[in-house]
Amino acid sequence: MRIAQVKIEKNVQGGSALTRLPNGSVCFVEGALPGESVEIEIIEQKKDFAKANIVKILEPNLKRRTPPCPYYGKCGGCNAQHAEFELQIEVLKQIVFDLFLRTAKINLPQNFEIHHGSEWSYRYRAQIFANGFLMRGSNVAIPIEKCMVLSENLNKKIKETSLAKKTYLFDNQSEKFLGKHIHADESVFFQSNLELLPKLIEEVSKAAGKGELLFDIFSGVGLFSAFLQNQFERVIAIEQNPLCQKFAEKNLGKNCEFYAMDAEEWSDFSGCVLIDPPRTGITNKLCDTLCKNKPNKLIYISCNPATLARDTRKFLNAGYTLTNIQGFAFYPQTFHLEMMAVFL
């Protein structure tokens, strides 16, 4: 066991705090915040870095708070409740600035904005394990009476349902969403924060403008296509998960075509392309195809700033210009951020 006193420099992707040990080596500290002086215990030593836990907070960040949830630290869902929500947004912004400078080799504009809604009761979709959530770093479920980030209806469902295994719950407010009836259920992915989602749709709609052809790649149930279809003469939605097709056929209009296939199999993209990939970002093959086809506009929705920064560098190398970039804090009480980037 090694004990050291250190000053925290900043937080990094995922929420861990970065500091340097007395010998100059990098150390990642769980639960620390920028500017804090802390006493730490080294729990893991690698060749290039170490990991540590806090033993004692010597000088706390002025925006540190006592986590309001009784399950915090045990439940694996939240990892930012020890920071006031204002600080959570500040930390997310600094993380994104660092990622894009290091990986995309660009400075984001100082007016880069992170949109957000309520910090509590915002989740309308959740993965439940035996009437609770998995403990941090474990496959063991911890039962809960009430989750502070879940909607009231989801908390009721947890109490009313006896769940012996992993289950997805969906409080489907999307049925009356922005004036449209968007069809979806718990069997397919749908954004969890339905309060903030309209802002993302609004910004995507403005960025897309009007045109002849829209490609909606990783379209899911056709959410974005449903709101953009009146702005384009033709919409092509591509989604690999076949379970999405029955919902997309209900959500999309006559000028829309849905293809249940891997986007890598499509070789000819043009017009405006909307991309909403998983956390891994887009594959090299798909990126190469897009850069070769050179559609006149790319709108990239990302749930992982690290892979967005990586792919941004590839698009810039291919001759695109980053013209618009925004953040969306869909998951308050976590250091998770979703983003929208527009390339012309």
Mean pLDDT to the nearest integer, 45-54: 93
Q: What is the CATH number of domain 85-118+189-343?
A: 3.40.50.150
Report pLDDT for 164.
65
Which tops the pLDDT comparison, 22 or 266? 266
* 3-class DSSP assignment, residue 251: helix
Query: Is 303 labeled as catalytic in the residue annotation?
Result: yes
Among residues 277, 342, 339, the alpha carbon closest in space to that of 114 is found at: 339
Tokens standing for 85? Answer: 């929500």
Give the integer Cα–Cα distance in Å for 213 and 234.
5
Share of the chain above pLDDT 90, in %: 82
| The pLDDT of residue 1 | 60
Fold match flag (2-59 vs 85-118+189-343)? no
pLDDT at 144 over 70: yes
CA–CA dist 259, 238 (Å, integer): 5
Average pLDDT over residues 291-302: 97
Confidence check: pLDDT of 81 > 90 = yes
Q: Among 198, 188, 150, which residue's Cα sits nearest to residue 332?
A: 150
Strands 256-259 and 232-238: parallel
Most confident of 163-167, 176-180, 241-245: 241-245
pLDDT-derived band at 163 (thresholds 50, 70, 90) equals low
Q: Hey, what's the torsion of the CAs at 77, 131, 277, 327, to 10 degrees?
A: -40
Is residue 118 scored above 80 in pLDDT?
Answer: yes
> pTM to 2 decimals?
0.95
Looking up tokens 């309520």 gives 118
pLDDT of residue 160: 77
Tell whether the model's pLDDT for residue 262 goes beyond 90.
yes
* Mean pLDDT, residues 156-175 taken together: 77
Q: How does DSSP classify residue 160?
A: H
Per-residue pLDDT, 174: 65
DSSP secondary structure, 157-170, as one string: HHHHS---SEEEEE
The pLDDT, as a whole number, for residue 176 is: 66
| Domain coordinates in residue numbering, the chain | 2-59, 85-118+189-343
pLDDT of residue 132: 85
Render the burial of 224-235: b for 16+ CB within 10 Å, e for the rest. bbbbbbeebeeb
Nearest to 289 by CA among 268, 306, 311: 268
- In this structure, the number of other CB atoms found within 10 A of the CB of residue 109 comes to 11
Angstrom distance (rounded) from CA 320 to CA 256: 27
Q: How many helices (H) and strands (E) does the chain have?
A: 7, 18
Report the pLDDT value the prediction gives residue 140, as an integer from 0 to 100: 87
Coil, helix or strand for 203?
A: helix
CA atoms within 13 A on the CB side of 190: 29
Task: Output 340 or 158, whichever has higher pLDDT.
Answer: 340
The pLDDT, as a whole number, for residue 175 is: 64
Please say if the pLDDT value at position 326 is more than 90: yes
Tell me the pLDDT of the chain averaged across its residues: 94
Q: What percent of the chain has pLDDT over 70?
A: 97
Just give the CATH number of 2-59: 2.40.50.140
Q: Which of 75, 147, 244, 303 is catalytic?
A: 303
